[in-house]
Amino acid sequence: EPEVTQTPSHQVTQMGQEVILRCVPISNHLYFYWYRQILGQKVEFLVSFYNNEISEKSEIFDDQFSVERPDGSNFTLKIRSTKLEDSAMYFCASKDSYYEQYFGPGTRLTVT
């Protein structure tokens, strides 16, 4: 069964460093999302992406964040200058033209 994959599973970085989180959505899906979950808190939306552009972004998704679909398969989230409060699980999700979103296994980002 097709699934969303994410790499790395765990990323440790120092404050101020840039990180790139990678996702390979399900191959025939058209809509892509990034969510994050701080330990013990709700899953919260960051950004949605369709037709090679951002469809919607949350207040969290400030100028330090960017997304890209550099080729036909990868979908990346870049954080330019990480802060301690960026420590969280980051989930990529994708969907086709229907409503159901499927999540990847996540990347645990630890900022020290």
Partner 1 sequence: QKEVEQNSGPLSVPEGAIASLNCTYSDRGSQSFFWYRQYSGKSPELIMSIYSNGDKEDGRFTAQLNKASQYVSLLIRDSQPSDSATYLCAVPDYTGANSKLTFGKGITLSVRP
Residues at the contact surface with partner 1, assessed by CB under 8 A: 31, 33, 35, 41-45, 48, 50, 55-56, 89, 91, 95, 97-106
**How many Cβ atoms are within 10 Å of 3's Cβ, its own excluded?**
12
Determine how β-strand 102-103 pairs with β-strand 88-95.
antiparallel
CB of 84 to partner 1, least distance (A): 20
- From first CA to last CA, the distance across the chain in angstroms is 37
CB of 112 to partner 1, least distance (A): 19
CB of 89 to partner 1, least distance (A): 8
CB of 25 to partner 1, least distance (A): 14
Question: Residue 103 corresponds to which amino acid?
Answer: F
Judged by beta carbon, residue 65 or residue 103, the one nearer partner 1 is 103
Judged by beta carbon, residue 13 or residue 45, the one nearer partner 1 is 45
| 84 backbone dihedrals φ, ψ, rounded to 5° | -55, -40
Judged by beta carbon, residue 76 or residue 101, the one nearer partner 1 is 101
Judged by beta carbon, residue 17 or residue 45, the one nearer partner 1 is 45
- According to the 3-state scheme, what is the secondary structure of 56-88? EECCCCCCCEEEECCCCCCEEEEECCCCHHHCE
